[in-house]
Chain A
Amino acid sequence: STQRPRPRVLLKAPTLAEMEEMSTSEEEESP
């Protein structure tokens, strides 16, 4: 039987600025 492919799930993305903040806080946390 033919199955309709299920719709793709939208992945929510942070903004560019939010990604940079995440990166900065990770660097601050690491020893």
Chain B
Amino acid sequence: RQVTVQRKEKDFQGMLEYHKEDEALLVRNLVTDLKPQMLLGTVPCLPAYLLYMCIRHADYVNDDLKVHSLLTSTINGIKKVLKKHNDDFEMTSFWLSNTCRLLHCLKQYSGDEGFMTQNSMKQNEHCLKNFDLTEYRQVLSDLSIQIYQQLIKIAEGVLQPMIVSAMLENESIQGLSGVKPTGYRKRSSSMVDGDNSYCLEAIVRQMNSFHAVMCDQGLDPEIIQQVFKQLFYVINAVTLNNLLLRKDVCSWSTGMQLRYNISQLEEWLRGRNLHQSGAVQTMEPLIQAAQLLQLKKKTPEDAEAICSLCTSLSTQQIVKILNLYTPLNEFEERVTVAFIRTIQAQLQERNDPQQLLLDSKHMFPVLFPFNPSSLTMDSIHIPACLNLEFL
């Protein structure tokens, strides 16, 4: 006779038990030796969830030493990986994502009512029972800031060599080279030139790459927004500083190319839903500098128009650009001293910073808003490739 065996539904408690002597192996397999590629197709931030489940069990059995030990080993393991891969965007982004997720878990399951408003009943059952890990949350927050700073440093390092070339020197607008100031004609190229010059598409491709990596790894959208705000600030600062020091790029045609390049970058931001990130606002000085290059610079009315437009440029910066401005040809006049005096008189009420150049090393302070997950701990599966059978 056929017998139907009714399998009892397993009720997982959402915790992972391990022996103390397996802690080193756990941290090795889940942190130090882990490669992000091994987890393709799995739930984003899986290491963070697994670590929380181990912490939860140690809490459940009231073993404070085990909790201390695991958190310390984990944090040190993450720092070790980041030191080894201090030039690897993907690895750094992976651990930023996981560290933030672990921090969110420790809040979401802390038992503090303020962090539980979006929890399901099942998730409330998975809160910590015995220990308050507020101080460890602070450590994870500090670690997250360090990882974020490393991520920005790597990304800026990749973009830096491209910026001046792509924003100021490469011509993508057809026919613009005919309008360049005499003696400054440069041939246009669509890709990288033999002399290591870059076009705007190179910057856009790189931004796409950064964005894809961070999204695939489940980095919080609010953090992704802050990354791009920071990167766009750097593009603005490096480009503007270059403009303020070079006569050959202070021309009407550069203004035209720059406005086009900035509009391409704005369109990219809109396409990725990042136009509310503050990135466009960081480009405002450069946008105004580009417009200044194209405005008329002769009459008192022109001076008034410039002063009311250039609210994000200092007097010193406006005067510098006007001094450097190179006419298109012998029929266009240079900017007169009298015109510059008119500008200075109109702006003398302003309390401008004294320095000419922007600080390209400036970093906006980063925030990590609380971002609870809808995932329940009892639904997590451990892929075999992680070699965590001992859990």
Contacts of A19 in B (CB 8 A): 72, 75-76, 139
Interface residues of B in 182-201 (CB under 8 A from A): none
Q: Which residue of A lies closest to B134 (CB)?
A: A10
User: Is B356 engaged at the interface, CB distance under 8 Å to the other chain?
Assistant: no
Q: What is the interface size of chain A, counting residues whose CB is below 8 A from a CB of the partner?
A: 15
Contact present for B71 and A8 (CB under 8 Å): no
The answer to whether A11 and B135 touch (CB under 8 A), given A19-B72, A20-B76, A23-B76, is: yes
7 A-B Cβ contacts within 8 A?
Answer: A5-B129, A9-B130, A10-B134, A11-B131, A13-B68, A16-B139, A19-B75
Cβ B64 vs Cβ A13 within 8 A: no
- Inter-chain contact B146/A9, CB cutoff 8 Å: no
- Chain A 1-28, CB-CB to B under 8 Å as 1, else 0, gives 0000101111111111001101100000
Are A12 and B79 in contact, CB atoms less than 8 angstroms apart? no
Closest to A10 in B: B132
Q: Which of B47-99 contact A (CB under 8 A)?
A: 64, 67-68, 71-72, 75-76, 79-80
Chain B residues at the A interface, C-beta cutoff of 8 Å: 64, 67-68, 71-72, 75-76, 79-80, 111, 128-136, 138-139, 142-143, 146
Interface of B is mostly: helix
A23 to B72, CA, bound (A): 9
Q: Which of A5, A10, A14 contacts B72 (CB 8 A)?
A: A14
7 nearest A-B residue pairs (beta carbon): A13-B135, A8-B132, A23-B76, A10-B132, A13-B136, A16-B142, A11-B131
Which residue of A9, A16, A20, A22 is within 8 Å of B64 (Cβ)? A9
Question: In the complex where A13-B138, A16-B139, A16-B143 touch, is A8 in contact with B75 (Cβ < 8 A)?
Answer: no
